[in-house]
Structure 1
Amino acid sequence: MLTRTDTHVTTWVIAIILFIVALFLHKAGKEKGFKIVQMILRLLYILVIVTGALLFFHNQSLDPALYGVKLLGGILVIGMMEMILLRLAKGKNTGVFWVLFIVFFIGVLYLGLRLPIGWHPFM
C-alpha cells in the first residue's frame, strides 16, 4: 500500500505541467496537440486520484476530517482543471473556474503541507 507521498506528488506535478502545456498549445492554436495533451492529462487525473485515495485510506486515522477535506478539495482541483480546458476548447468564458481553481489549489496545497505525512517546510 502507498505510505509515502512521492508517487502522489510526482503525478500531480506532472499533471500541473501538462495543464500549463495544454494552455499554451491552445493559445498557440495547435488544436491537435492540445487534444493529445488533454487526453494524457485525463490519464494522469486517474493516477492522481488513485494515489491520493491510497494515501487517504492508509492515513485517514491520523486526522480523518482534514484528510477527507483534502481528498474532496483535490477532486475539485482536478474538476476545475478539466472545466477550464473544456471551456477553452469551446471558446467560452473561464474566469469563474480560474478563481475556483486557484482557491481550491491553495487550500489543498496548504492542507497537504499541514497534515502529518506532508512536507513541513515551516517547522
Structure 2
Amino acid sequence: MFTNTHAHIFTWVVALILFVAAILLFKKGLAKQMKIVHMTLRLFYIFIIITGAGLFFNFASIDHMMYGLKTLVGIGVIACAEMVLVRMKKEKSITGVAAGLVITLLITLYLGFSLPIGFDFFH
C-alpha cells in the first residue's frame, strides 16, 4: 500500500484540501474549528511522509538523486504550509512563506509527475 503512487497522491490531495479549509476557517474567525482541521492536517503530513518514504525506498534506485531532491522539496512544502498556518494564527506576515509554499509545491509537483514513477494509471 505504501509503495504505490495512488496512496501518496491521495494523502497530499486531502492535505491540500485541509490546508485550504484551515485558511478559510481562520478567515471566518472559527478558531476552534480551524484548530481541529489543523491537527487533522498534521496527521496527513505524517501520512504524506510515510507514503513518500515508501515510494522513495522502493524506487530510489531508478534515479536516486532526483527522487532525493523531490523528497527534500516535498518536506519543504510541508514546512512552508505549516509555517503559513502558524504565522496566520500569530497574525504575522505570511508573504515570504506563502511564496516559498507556492514555489516548493510547483517544483514538487513537476518532479513528481515527470520522474519515471510518475502517476501509474493502470495499477
Q: Shorter-chain TM-score: which interval?
A: over 0.9
Q: How does 1:66-81 map to 2 (within 5 A)?
A: 66-81=66-81
Q: Which residue of 1 aligns with 2:92?
A: 92
Q: Which runs of 5+ in 2 are unaligned?
A: none
- Residues 50-70 of structure 1, C-alpha deviations (whole Å, 9 max, x = no match): 000010000000000000000
TM norm structure 1:
0.95
Aligned equivalent of 1:27: 27
Q: Deviations over 1:21-63 (max 9, x none)?
A: 0000000000000100000000000000000001000000000
**Mapped pair 1:106 → 2:106:** yes
Give deviations 1:4-32, integer Å, cap 9, x for gaps.
20000000000000000000000000000
Distance, in Å, in 1 between the alignment partners of 2:3 and 2:42 is: 24
Superposed CA offset, 1:69-103 (max 9, x none) = 00001100000000000000000000000110011
Q: Distance in 1 between matches of 2:29 and 2:3?
A: 42
Q: Which residue of 2 aligns with 1:55?
A: 55
Which residue number in structure 1 is paired with residue 46 of structure 2?
A: 46
Paired residue secondary structure (1:102): helix
Structure 1 segments unaligned to the other structure (5+ residues): none
Aligned to 1:37: 37
Does the alignment pair 1:15 with 2:51?
no
Q: What is the aligned-residue RMSD (CA, Å)? A: 1.1
CA distance in 2, matches of 1:55, 1:103: 23
Task: Percent identity, please.
Answer: 47
Displacement over 4 Å in runs of 4+: none
Cα distance in 2 for residues equivalent to 1:8 and 1:47: 8
